Amino acid sequence: MPSSGLELLWQVAPQLGRGAIQTLAIALAAILCSTLGGLLYGVLGSLGRRALDALLRFYLELFRAIPLLVWLYLFFFGLPLLTGVSLSSFACAVLVLSLWGASEVGEVVRGGLQSLPRAQREAGLALGLSTWQLYRLVLIPQALKRMTPPTINVYTRLIKGSSLAVLIGVIEVIKVGQQIIERTHEHVLIYGTLFVFFFLICYPLSLASRALERRWSYA
């Protein structure tokens, strides 16, 4: 038996590290997909097509109304039953978090785009820009300031949400911690370490979000 907490931490560090990498891999993949999906959602939502808006609204409400946990079970256990396709628990976690994150980032993007004066769009069109050029060169760069802080908040929620993956069997950092606790009964030490781990990742993000918000508040 290890004699001190530090010694124990030193021993389990590689194991916790592997768990942490799983957690970060899920979070990073979900952040990337949410950003791309959210941009698409936001642009589609800003076009002002009624049928499209209704569809996006339905998608958003679906992910707001039903807990992520239920979505995870649905995709992990339900999908193979319904379609015969089964996803790894890792892929399933990334997929569900991304679908949720895309709708949340998407609402931020849509709001940012809609806050721009309508005439900016027309000024761009009058120059002959295509819709794609209009968004890429004129609208999205302008909305970026307004969009960035709330998007970072979604990112921190994705990082925390990645721990749900444990429920469909991903051995991420919290699961690893629980396994160690089962062996050693060092609740405080291990949960304390997990606390520090999540804090060290999320706190700088939320600091950055607040700093950007202050810096860009004139816009």
Partner 1 sequence: MSALIELSGFSKRFGDTQVLREIDLRVERGEVVVIIGPSGCGKSTLLRCLNGLEIGEGGLQFAGEALDAGSDWSRVRQRIGMVFQSYQLFPHMTVLENILLGPLQVQKRARAEVQAQAEALLTRVGLGERAGAYPRELSGGQQQRIAIVRALCMNPEVMLFDEVTAALDPEMVKEVLDVILDLADGGMTLLIVTHEMAFARAVADRILFMDEGRIAEEGEPQAFFSAPRTARAQQFLERFSYLQNVPRRK
Binding site for partner 1 (CB under 8 A): 117, 119-120, 122-130, 133, 137-138, 141-142
Cα–Cα distance, 113 to 138 (Å, whole number)? 10
Minimum distance from CB of 170 to partner 1 (Å)? 41
Q: Which is nearer to partner 1, 18 or 145 (CB)?
A: 145
Minimum distance from CB of 119 to partner 1 (Å)? 5
Cα–Cα distance, 65 to 196 (Å, whole number)? 31
Counting other chains too, the contacts that 53-62 makes at CB distance below 8 Å and 24 or more residues apart are 56/103, 56/106, 56/110, 59/103, 60/103, 60/106, 60/107
Cα–Cα distance, 33 to 99 (Å, whole number)? 8
Which residues, in sequence order, are CB contacts of 123 under 8 Å at separation 6+?
A: 138
Q: Which is nearer to partner 1, 118 or 183 (CB)?
A: 118
Q: Which is nearer to partner 1, 141 or 192 (CB)?
A: 141
Minimum distance from CB of 208 to partner 1 (Å)? 20
Minimum distance from CB of 48 to partner 1 (Å)? 14
Which residues, in sequence order, are CB contacts of 104 under 8 Å at separation 6+?
A: 34, 38, 63, 154, 157
Q: Which is nearer to partner 1, 55 or 127 (CB)?
A: 127
Q: Which is nearer to partner 1, 30 or 138 (CB)?
A: 138
Minimum distance from CB of 151 to partner 1 (Å)? 18
